Amino acid sequence: MERPFDPTATAAWQRLAGHARALAERRIADLFAADPARAERYSLEVAGIFLDYSKNLVTDGVLADLFALAEAAQLDAWRQALFRGEPINESEGRAVLHPALRATAADLEADGLAALAGPLAAQREAFLAAAEAVRTGTWRGVTGAPFRDLVHLGIGGSELGPKLVWEALGEGRAQGPRLHFVANADGEALPAVLAGLDPARTLVVVVSKSFTTPETALNAELAARWLADGLGLREPTASPHFTAVTAADERARAQGYAPERIFAFPEGVGGRFSLWSAVGFSLAAALGRAPFEALLAGARAMDRHFREAPLGRNLPVLLASLGVWYNAFFGAAVRAVVPYGERLRRLPEHLQQLEMESNGKGVTRDGRPVHWPTGQVVLGGVGTAAQHSFFQLLHQGTRFVPVDLIGVVESSGADLRQRRFLLANLIAQARALMSGDSDPALPPHRRQPGNRPSNVLLLTRLAPETLGALIALYEHRVFVEGVLLGINSFDQWGVELGKRLARQLLAGEESESWDPSTRALLARLPGG
């Protein structure tokens, strides 16, 4: 694969720039008038997800050149390298293994990863069997009581995916133990959760790929103290009330965790892609094995689609290409993601990490500064509440913000009237963003320019399979976007400096070289 890839040097990019100039004068609404079949042609359904991308400022010519860009970027070769477990995360010298977590043994073998099939299946079986043991009460606390509450301690990718799925599918519905998430080490979040719990019936699940993340370590320490006080345990982490999920098994052992209660996953699984691994242990325990496996099956269906569908009928390719189109040629630094329905309220937060930690990069794979825009800022909220807050800017502001509107057609929790209300609002917003309202009878402050693009994604129902497919869709969207932009989507070096400085500040390594502002702020640190 050609490594230094400069998308702007491709003929496709130059043609896209030309299209963008020509389309500056066109309106999306006119594109519909010119092509009565547009809505039908620019929509497709895959794995329980219907995508209507017809309300975008694109023509067949634009799409053809976006796909030409994908070809110039050697998307096909990169995609094969991803699924074959080649070390495409070059700055960390690692393969990218999240698709392997949900692949069948036959898929892995076909991709030359037969050697991985056994270890991956063993890791999966270990945490799924343990999750069932928690559910059925075979794995119990020291008093012999089964667990009623699971406290999942983790941050970033070690929290957001499982929390999204739990709130979408489990919360208030699942029959198993209750699941609580604590990420922040602010000293308030964990005590607020523990206050309502019985230590004898609580299992603490410490989730950290590196097992060095201070927020998670601080919370684990607090939880250990709470268990020690409540149950008189001398070594809480060694007790059946504590379990670790990590890719650094030796660190967990060194902290006293019992080896049989440490669930591992491979280094090659990035935190923000780790939901499918043992990071989903507490989720599987609370939700049940079958729903968790259905989640994996949904993601697998999206993997297959991504590998097999031609570019023009390929959901991740379409969404990523549209993202690059607006970002590069229309200055769309921000994209909004708005799920309609409270059960999907964590999706924007999950996508913020997934997209911004992956594609918020300033250098190409070979380390040269990029001179084209990379990852977009992801803005998000839940519909319809978001309509009553930031949508004003989307409709009349001076920023150009493309929107993904995500709805659920069947939803068991709500009555028909509410479901219709939500979906009608979603559809109305897509229409309003596109058509605007330029009635000359209106005063200027009431007119809406319109011509603002949106994708509508409708899930047939909020089920494990469709949710798995939706999350995998956005994972592959990130990957394709990274390939088109010539960057490595799988490292995150930008988060390191701040962590290091915080460590130094806390260790009292005051440095004369620090600026006066930092020194003055430091003087305000509690405890001197």
Asked if 275 and 165 count as a contact pair (C-beta separation under 8 A), the reply is yes
Quote the DSSP letter at residue 340: B
CA distance 419 to 460: 12
What minimum distance in Å lies between the beta carbon of 156 and ligand F6P? Answer: 3
Q: Which of residues 95-114 bind ligand F6P (CB under 6 A)?
A: none
495 is a site residue for ligand F6P (CB under 6 A)? yes
271 touches ligand F6P (CB under 6 A): yes
Region 163-222 residues binding ligand F6P, contact defined as CB under 6 A: 208-210, 213, 216
Closest by CA to 383, choosing from 333, 334, 433, 445, is 433
Q: Answer yes or no whether residue 89 interacts with ligand F6P by CB under 6 A.
A: no
d(CA 137, CA 127): 15
Is 272 a binder of ligand F6P (CB under 6 A)?
yes
Please pick, among 125, 388, 509, 510, the residue that the annotation labels catalytic.
388
Q: Smaller CB distance to ligand F6P: residue 155 or 394?
A: 155
Q: Which residue is nearest to ligand F6P (CB)?
A: 271
Q: Choose among 3, 133, 112, 12: nearest CA to 72.
A: 12
Helices (H) and strands (E) in the chain, counts: 22, 11
357 catalytic, yes or no?
yes
- Which residues lie closer than 8 Å to 429 by C-beta, 6 or more apart? 338, 383, 387, 391, 403, 405, 454
Identify whether 388 is a catalytic site residue.
yes
**Angle, CA 139 vertex, CA 133 and CA 145 arms, to 5°:** 125
Q: Which is nearer to ligand F6P, 159 or 303 (CB)?
A: 159
Residues of this chain, 355-394, that bind ligand F6P according to CB under 6 A = 357
Count residues near ligand F6P (CB under 6 A): 14
Structure tokens at 3: 């490594």
Considering the candidates 159, 215, 357, 481, report the single residue annotated as catalytic.
357
**Of 56 and 492, which CB lies nearer to ligand F6P in the complex structure?**
492
180 is catalytic: no
Measured from the CB atom, the residue of 156 and 348 that comes closer to ligand F6P is 156
According to DSSP, the residues that pair with 84 across neighbouring strands are none
Cβ atoms within 10 A of the Cβ of 378, count? 20
282 interacts with ligand F6P by CB under 6 A: no
CA distance 325 to 242: 48
Burial class (CB in 10 A: 0-12, 13-18, 19+), 241: buried
Task: Output 162 or 176, the one with its CB closest to ligand F6P.
Answer: 162
Q: Which residues from 131-160 bind ligand F6P, rule CB under 6 A? A: 155-158
Binding site for ligand F6P (CB under 6 A): 155-158, 208-210, 213, 216, 271-272, 357, 492, 495
Point out the residues that are catalytic.
357, 388, 499
